[in-house]
């Protein structure tokens, strides 16, 4: 479980998607990771919390933004998009008191915020302009009533301390909120959502029809003013005024000689402070410094990885993230044991052999004839499985 001062009960029975769901690509922020039950909670662009199963070898951490594929009720093909300093999620009040606030998340699980955290939490009633501090009304946690809907925003400082803001968002599930407006810079763009970060550090994710958003031609760090309303917990953008690139605040230069880049290759040396990869014939090795030891934790020589890095003004390559170069295959199982799985690939019709640590029970319950979706990464010439979604007997 994570180290935040909260208690969170997660069970596989509360997973948000049915087992019959087809694979789809999505993105969100990791709210919690349960390493005992191997369930991760992810907050999507509309502040909705989903619970998914995940492969035992996946490197997931609280407060990172990820892009992932959903297959059944599990996630596969995870890509780390960097740390998230702010996460906001919808919830319903179950009970409140001086010592604890219990809220129910969108995935059906209950989250308890204890007295220590509540002592530092801010609570506000709805206002016509939610982003205008003068328009909010402070209330006590004890004034929150069961059934009321709230938006919980948690901001993590560089020191690791967490500030919690709890906002009432419309009584007991009322209709869409009134029109609101936000001004800030664009800090993320997806197919049907974009993220706006204000000068005060508030982050809103706004949803818009895919074609309409594409026609806006928004770019990272564009200064925008967006009008929006809330509908069923989702912030829907109604209009956007793009003022062009901004060089203020988080969009100002950081002293590096360029933006972040990626390099791929097999690990030849790795430690808590550095990593070297071989990019292949004609390209050669690259060595990166590592400031955060958790970045290289769990990786070994021979693993094929993507390294996200920036070049400092002195020429040093500084790694900010390391992820497996993952791939995905689907097919029908023709052989299975505790440490290996062989399928007939749906695309090529040829057999694919995958390996896993037998002690991980990765292939437990999988039978010959089952249709599976395998997420894996290469290491020392073998294809190492990260997760398997089993759809049952092939039709």
What is the per-residue pLDDT across 221-238, written as a single tens digit (0 to 9) for each? Answer: 888 998 887 765 567 888
Do residue 245 and residue 274 come from a single domain? no
Within a domain: 353: yes
Do residue 101 and residue 66 come from a single domain? no
Whole-number pLDDT of residue 140:
58
Strands laid side by side in the 162-168 sheet: 6-8, 110-114, 100-105, 86-96, 149-156, 162-168, 122-125, 137-138
User: Look-up: residue for tokens 């901001």?
Assistant: 155
Do residue 320 and residue 341 come from a single domain? no
Within a domain: 175: no
Maximum CA extent, the chain: 67
CATH number of the domain residue 345 falls in: 2.40.50.140
Final residue before a domain boundary, out of 216, 251, 286: 251
Within a domain: 47: yes
Whole-number pLDDT of residue 3:
36
Final residue before a domain boundary, out of 111, 143, 168: 168
Residues 6+ apart with CB under 8 A from 119: none
In the chain, the number of structural domains is 5
Burial of 211 (0-12, 13-18, 19+ CB in 10 A): exposed
From residue 231, how far is each of 9, 179, 198 by CA, in Å?
28, 11, 21
Phi, psi of 213 (to 5 degrees): -65, -40
> CA nearest 141: which of 156, 170, 120?
120
The answer to whether 146 touches 102, Cβ cutoff 8 Å, is no
From residue 142, how far is each of 8, 99, 153, 189 by CA, in Å?
21, 9, 18, 38
- CA 222 – CA 214 distance, rounded (Å): 14
- CA 116 – CA 6 distance, rounded (Å): 10
Give the residue ranges of the chain where pLDDT is below 70: 1-25, 56-57, 72, 97-99, 114-144, 158-160, 169-179, 200-201, 231-234, 248-250, 252-259
- CA 189 – CA 207 distance, rounded (Å): 10
Whole-number pLDDT of residue 334:
96
Whole-number pLDDT of residue 373:
86
Final residue before a domain boundary, out of 273, 299, 324: 324
Q: What's the sign of the alpha-carbon dihedral 128, 132, 137, 141?
A: positive
Domain extent, residue 346, equals 327-393
> CA nearest 254: which of 205, 218, 221?
221
- CA 255 – CA 278 distance, rounded (Å): 28
Within a domain: 45: yes
How far is the first Cα of the chain from the last one, in angstroms, to the nearest whole number?
38
> CA nearest 354: which of 368, 371, 370, 335?
335
Do residue 95 and residue 151 come from a single domain? yes
Do residue 105 and residue 155 come from a single domain? yes
Do residue 381 and residue 312 come from a single domain? no
Whole-number pLDDT of residue 344:
93
Do residue 77 and residue 17 come from a single domain? yes
Do residue 78 and residue 104 come from a single domain? no
Whole-number pLDDT of residue 200:
66
The verdict on pTM exceeding 0.85 is: no
Do residue 215 and residue 241 come from a single domain? yes
CATH number of the domain residue 67 falls in: 2.40.50
Q: What's the sign of the alpha-carbon dihedral 88, 26, 9, 21?
A: positive
Whole-number pLDDT of residue 12:
35
Do residue 316 and residue 280 come from a single domain? yes
Phi, psi of 98 (to 5 degrees): -70, -25
Within a domain: 99: yes
Within a domain: 1: no
């Amino acid at each position: 479980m994570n180290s935040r001062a909260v208690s969170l009960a997660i069970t596989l029975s509360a997973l948000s998607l049915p087992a019959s769901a087809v694979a789809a690509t999505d993105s969100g922020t990791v709210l919690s990771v349960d390493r005992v039950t191997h369930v991760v909670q992810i907050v999507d662009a509309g502040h909705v919390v989903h619970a998914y199963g995940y492969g035992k070898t996946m490197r997931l951490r609280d407060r990172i933004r990820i892009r992932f594929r959903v297959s059944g009720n599990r996630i596969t093909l995870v890509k780390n998009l960097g740390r998230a300093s702010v996460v906001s999620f919808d919830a319903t009040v179950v009970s409140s008191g001086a010592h604890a606030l219990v809220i129910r998340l969108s995935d059906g699980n209950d989250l308890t915020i204890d007295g220590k955290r509540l002592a530092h939490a801010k609570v506000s009633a709805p206002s016509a302009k939610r982003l205008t501090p003068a328009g909010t009304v402070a209330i006590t946690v004890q004034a929150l009533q069961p059934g009321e809907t709230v938006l919980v925003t948690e901001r993590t400082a560089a020191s690791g301390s967490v500030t919690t803001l709890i906002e009432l968002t419309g009584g007991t599930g009322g209709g869409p909120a009134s029109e609101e407006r936000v001004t800030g810079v664009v800090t993320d763009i997806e197919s049907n959502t974009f993220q706006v970060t204000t000068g005060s550090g508030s982050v809103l994710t706004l949803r818009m029809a895919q074609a309409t958003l594409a026609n806006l031609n928004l770019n990272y760090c564009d200064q925008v003013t967006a009008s929006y309303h809330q509908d069923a917990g989702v912030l829907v953008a109604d209009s956007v005024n793009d003022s062009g690139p901004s060089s203020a605040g988080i969009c100002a230069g950081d002293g590096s000689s360029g933006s972040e880049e990626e390099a791929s290759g097999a690990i030849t040396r790795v430690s808590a402070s550095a990593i070297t990869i071989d990019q292949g014939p004609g390209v050669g090795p690259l060595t990166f410094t590592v400031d955060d030891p958790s970045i290289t934790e769990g990786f070994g020589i021979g693993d094929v990885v993507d390294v996200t890095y920036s070049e400092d003004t002195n020429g040093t390559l500084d790694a900010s993230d390391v992820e497996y170069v993952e791939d995905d295959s689907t097919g029908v199982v023709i052989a299975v044991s505790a440490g290996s799985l062989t399928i007939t690939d749906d695309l090529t019709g040829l057999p694919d052999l995958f390996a896993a640590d037998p002690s991980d029970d990765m292939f437990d319950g999988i039978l010959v004839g089952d249709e599976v979706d395998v997420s894996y990464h290469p290491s020392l010439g073998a294809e190492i499985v990260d997760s398997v979604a089993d759809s049952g007997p092939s039709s």
